[in-house]
Amino acid sequence: MRWFTRVSSMLLVLTSVVDPAFSAEGEELWSQSYGGSSQDWGLDAKVTEDGGFILTGFTKSFGVSGSDVYLVKLDAAGIIQWDTPLGSAANDVGYAVIQTDDGYVVAGNQNIGSDNTKQGLLIKVDTAGQEQWQETYGGSGKDEFFDVVECAGGGFAMAGVTTSIGPGGHAAWIVRVDDAGTLLWQNAVALDGRGFDNLTGLVETASGDFVASGYSGDGVTFPSYDAEMAAFNGTGDLLWTRTFDHSDYDRAYDITLAPEDGFALAGPSAYAMTIWRTDPNGSLVWLHRFNTVTGDHAEAVVPTSDGGFLVGGNTWNYDDGAYQMYVGKTDAAGNALWERLYGGPGREICRAIAETPSGDYAFAGTTDSFGAGGDDMLLLLAEGSDGPTSVTGPGSALERSLAVYPNPFNPNTTIGFDLSAPARTNVTIVDARGRHVRTILEDAALGAGQHTLRWDGRDDTGLRTASGVYFVRAHAAERRADRKLVLIR
């Protein structure tokens, strides 16, 4: 087991609280760093099915080469359960990690020479972190993966950049492989024709299409970049692109499915931490820039169970070069609720955010203020919201009380409801088209009072369902109540 340090407190500054009702939300609960005496960077993190966390990035403290993919499994308290360096004799970096039915998959790149000779890297490990297979993709140019999703039909899809295939220059790159990592298809496209295009984030929709975030430019003129979206069908054909050009410097680094259909993207715009909210076709619904004093970047966005959005990144002070984690929250309409900075005397960078099953917020990235030396992986847990409130108004106790939490969720969510009298009860999950997905409760005799159930995001056959919109339907005593669910893989 590697070294880790519990940091007593990292909260440096509370920048603003727009609504006093949210004054406790975002307060730090604990933070921990992981690594050795050299550089160990955290670049992605996910909440796991057991309520813990999985972190990835790279390590120069452990492993066999200059840098190796670093995979760290934590329990719910942030304590290391296992960790492992992965990769090859080359320099390897893990940019994204996901949990599968039987382990984890990491996507990134393998540097096979200079900075311009890289290949996309995909590594599959079992539940204990033991490597099962490793594959590289691309050619003799610069090819990198920045995100990975598990596909509803099996296998994986990755998004990134390539100079080896496609229209020339830096092309936006999407790759689809099967469960063993065998290439099924790939596509490299130009987004705006200036020759420097990147895909940075990826989601699969309920229809089986893929939608990616990214950015475009000419690679020379700084800071002339535009934020981009690109949609592909299930065989990799480009469906549409959308460009967001609001300033000299716009980039979209992450994308997520939005609770009410459509998408949310995060990145910098005019050097401010920014969230874009779009409809299902990529048309802009609203944009919000958080307060900026220096140079701010958003790196990640997730919807929260109370209907809002949480955005994480960093802020940079031009005077002393210091970075702090910068996190902000909006409501569903894009109105800012609160903003916070977390950090110490050195550099803290947020690269990933997640909502835990208990409704708290996890921020992952890198610190050089705390730890064993150099840079270390960092995980910080902060106070979440109070969760969703029950529906009020006329109707039965079932109709008023049916709630799901967290929502959006991954990988599990809790279904809660009240019965005013004993009743035979059915609870099912259906997809957005009304097709049956899972029976949670069938003709069960329940007593009066509160009841809670759990859905693990799987169908009746035990297979994981795809990211997308679902509905929980509860029937009791000739009453029915429905609530929307959003599953994000």
DSSP state of 203: E
Strands 295-303 and 225-232: unpaired
Q: How far is CA 481 from CA 124, 277, 415, 428, in A?
A: 41, 29, 12, 11
Q: What is the CB-side half-sphere exposure of residue 249 using CA atoms within 13 A?
A: 15
Lookup: tokens for 433: 């088209």
Please give the order of strands across the beta sheet that includes 171-177. 143-150, 156-162, 171-177, 183-189
Residue 111, SS3 per DSSP: strand
Q: What is the pLDDT of residue 394?
A: 35
> What is the spatial distance between Cα 139 and Cα 143, in angstroms, rounded to a whole number?
7
Q: What is the pLDDT of residue 270?
A: 85
Lookup: tokens for 342: 């977390």
pLDDT in tens, the chain (489 residues): 344 554 544 544 434 444 545 568 888 999 999 999 899 999 999 999 888 999 999 999 998 778 999 999 999 999 999 999 998 888 999 999 999 989 999 999 999 777 778 999 999 999 999 999 999 999 999 999 999 999 988 999 999 999 999 998 999 999 999 999 999 999 999 998 888 999 999 999 988 999 999 999 987 776 689 999 999 999 999 999 999 987 778 999 999 999 878 999 999 998 899 999 999 999 999 999 987 666 788 999 999 888 899 999 998 765 556 788 999 999 999 999 999 989 888 889 999 999 888 888 999 999 988 888 889 999 999 988 764 433 333 346 787 788 887 888 888 888 998 888 899 999 999 886 678 999 999 999 999 888 999 999 999 999 888 888 788 989 887 677 878 788 887
Where do runs of H (alpha helix) occur along 208-263? none
Instruction: Measure CA 230 to chain center.
Output: 18
- Please provide the size of the chain in residues: 489
| Contact (CB, 8 A) for 373 and 37 | yes
> What is the spatial distance between Cα 329 and Cα 308, in angstroms, rounded to a whole number?
7
> What is the spatial distance between Cα 151 and Cα 234, in angstroms, rounded to a whole number?
10
Class at the top of the CATH hierarchy for domain 397-487? mainly beta
- Which of 384, 406, 402, 382 is closest to 392 using CA atoms? 402
Q: What is the pLDDT of residue 294?
A: 61
Q: How far is CA 109 from CA 68, 118, 202, 319, in A?
A: 10, 6, 16, 33
* Whole-angstrom Cα Rg for the chain: 22
CATH H superfamily, domain 4-382: YVTN repeat-like/Quinoprotein amine dehydrogenase (2.130.10.10)
Residue 89, SS3 per DSSP: coil
Q: What is the pLDDT of residue 150?
A: 94
Q: What is the pLDDT of residue 319?
A: 56
For the chain, the domains span: 4-382, 397-487
Q: What is the pLDDT of residue 18?
A: 44
Q: What is the CB-side half-sphere exposure of residue 110 using CA atoms within 13 A?
A: 20
Q: What is the pLDDT of residue 433?
A: 65
> What is the spatial distance between Cα 306 and Cα 406, in angstroms, rounded to a whole number?
8
Cα-Cα end-to-end distance for the chain? 28
